Structure 1
Amino acid sequence: MATASADHILIVDDDPDICTLVSRFFEKNGFRVSVVPDGKGLWNMLDQASVDLIVLDLMLPDEDGLVLCRNLRATSDLPVIILSARGEDVDRIIGLEMGADDYLPKPFHPRELLARVRSVLRRTRSTMQPEKTARTHNSNEENIAYHFAGWRLDVPTRQLYTPQEEKVFLSGSEFALLRIFLNYPNQVLTREQLLEYSASKESETYDRTIDMQVSRLRRRLREDSRTPELIKTVRGLGYVLSARVEKVGDHT
């Protein structure tokens, strides 16, 4: 039975049978569940209540789920798992590129969705811990700002600024990943190291999560994915932040 402190899952799907099945199963497993049938219901719910994770169907009556996912990711770091009867690889890749944290084709077993929800929540929360992800050892680190290639990352506010001083939204996982790169500039970091430093490694199933997060971070940094200048791919090894980094306010 769910308690008031239980994780709140929002299901956005217009199929009443799926919503009933999933909500009952999740409630039996200790989650609070809300159900809305469309994008309008999604935004209304987010205005009214705190949500921990969104399960989002792609085929909605009023708005395409991919568009909703993209708009969510532009304004929030809430984890999103996409459901879709379209199980082709191209749809899965597009969904992940739009910012989804996972993708599950229909039909599915509620137990598999439950496992994915728990896994995404664990992974998301671990990457939201800056003291873990940055491997800091001094409280002064929390008062610093990183300057690199004209960009600035302010740690206390978690705000990224362009060379033109425009604010750029970063999700929790994007902030964590960028801070890892900024703490190890001009060093090749393997996917294994990035997973270890972010304290988010779970299984081989999610090893490619880093590639997805790097792709998103490059977009935030306005990089051309074909010829990135800041976060470069080192074939067969991993990634490297190719920039001089200055820590302002670091007195260690």
Structure 2
Amino acid sequence: MNLLLIDDDNDLARLLNRYFQRFGWELRHASAPSIAYAQLKQSQPDAIILDVMLPEEDGFSVCRKLRHDYTTPIIMLTARGEVTDRIVGLEIGADDYLPKPFEPRELAARIQSITRRHASTEKPVPLMYFRDLEINLTTQEVLVAGRPLTLTTSEFRLLQLFASAPGKVFSRDEIMNSLKGTEVELFSRAIDITVSRLRQKMKTKSKREFIKTVWGAGYRFVGEAL
């Protein structure tokens, strides 16, 4: 497995590099965002480990830029760990969140979890067509009114869940079970954050809605199958 660590802590980079070697993982280290951007143009890692506190620009800004161009799973690190930071990280597209200090084995476990989830969405299956919406479950590509979307792993899995049963009301418990192992396990509010984030990305010029809130019950997908 190839990983990219974006963190200006050289000691942490050496520690993680030694630890990951026992799994046969390769860790590249970028001590600043500009270095990371250059490395990403050369090759894509299986996952990105991104610190919040960085030189040049903060990790939230970096995450936004990365999510605009890549679907690579992102785990954010922070020395603070406040709930507000977690919410911001999830809203801008991080797949998981780990406060410092942490045990390397916990980070390794989370990396294995998010990369498995990411790989599971790539199984060859037919395209799903709806009015103004096309979902390719093989390539994880989504088009809304012909416009390509960049979704996180959790956002794509949520859309896949909804689209699998148009009209069905999914409770928060059902959504949580479906996304088990992702950031929704941190707090139930993350479900609403992920749905809201997905809705925002799926907005069309005609203001068509694909996901509606059923107050007191959950959410349902209202796309028109073709």
TM range (shorter): 0.7 to 0.9
How far apart are residue 222 of structure 1 and its match?
2.6
Equivalence for 2:108: 114
Structure 1: gaps of 5 or more residues: 1-6, 132-141, 248-252
Q: 1:146 pairs with 129, 132, 149, which one?
A: 129
Q: After the TM superposition, which residues 28-43 of structure 1 pair with which residues of structure 2 at under 5 Å, given as runs?
A: 28-43=22-37
Q: CA separation in 2, counterparts of 1:92 and 1:240?
A: 26
Q: CA separation in 2, counterparts of 1:112 and 1:218?
A: 32
Equivalence for 2:195: 214
* Code of the aligned partner of 1:147: F
* 1:92-137 CA-partner distances (Å, limit 9, x unpaired): 1101111111111111111211111112212222234463xxxxxx
Determine if the alignment matches structure 1 residue 48 to structure 2 residue 48. no
Determine if the alignment matches structure 1 residue 161 to structure 2 residue 144. yes
Equivalence for 2:91: 97
Q: CA separation in 2, counterparts of 1:202 and 1:166?
A: 30
3-state SS in 1 of match to 2:225 = strand
Q: 2:19 pairs with 14, 25, 32, which one?
A: 25
Q: CA separation in 2, counterparts of 1:74 and 1:186?
A: 30
Cα gap change, 1:237 to 1:125, in 2 (>3 Å): farther
* Code of the aligned partner of 1:126: S
3-state SS in 2 of match to 1:246 = coil
Bigger radius of gyration among the two? 1
How far apart are residue 48 of structure 1 and its match?
1.4
Q: CA separation in 2, counterparts of 1:202 and 1:172?
A: 12
Equivalence for 1:185: 166
Equivalence for 2:6: 12
* Paired residue total: 219
* 1:61-101 CA-partner distances (Å, limit 9, x unpaired): 11111011011111111000011112111011101111111
3-state SS in 2 of match to 1:29 = coil
* Code of the aligned partner of 1:114: A
Equivalence for 1:137: none
* Code of the aligned partner of 2:167: N
Does the 8 Å CA contact 1:14/1:36 hold for their aligned counterparts? yes
Does the 8 Å CA contact 2:2/2:26 hold for their aligned counterparts? yes
How far apart are residue 213 of structure 1 and its match?
3.5
Deviates more, 1:74-83 or 1:202-211: 202-211
Equivalence for 2:120: 126
3-state SS in 1 of match to 2:98 = strand
Q: CA separation in 1, counterparts of 2:155 and 2:209?
A: 18
Cα gap change, 1:100 to 1:237, in 2 (>3 Å): same
Q: 2:220 pairs with 232, 240, 243, which one?
A: 240
How far apart are residue 19 of structure 1 and its match?
0.9
3-state SS in 2 of match to 1:46 = helix
Does the 8 Å CA contact 1:230/1:241 hold for their aligned counterparts? yes
Q: Could you tell me the percent identity over the aligned residues? A: 41
Does the 8 Å CA contact 1:85/1:106 hold for their aligned counterparts? yes
* Code of the aligned partner of 1:54: I
Cα gap change, 1:169 to 1:233, in 2 (>3 Å): same
* 1:140-175 CA-partner distances (Å, limit 9, x unpaired): xx2x55233xx221537734133xx44433445534
How far apart are residue 37 of structure 1 and its match?
0.3
Does the 8 Å CA contact 1:191/1:207 hold for their aligned counterparts? no
Equivalence for 2:210: 230
Q: CA separation in 2, counterparts of 1:110 and 1:169?
A: 30
Q: CA separation in 2, counterparts of 1:69 and 1:90?
A: 16
Q: CA separation in 2, counterparts of 1:201 and 1:89?
A: 20
Cα gap change, 1:176 to 1:90, in 2 (>3 Å): closer
Cα gap change, 1:179 to 1:8, in 2 (>3 Å): same
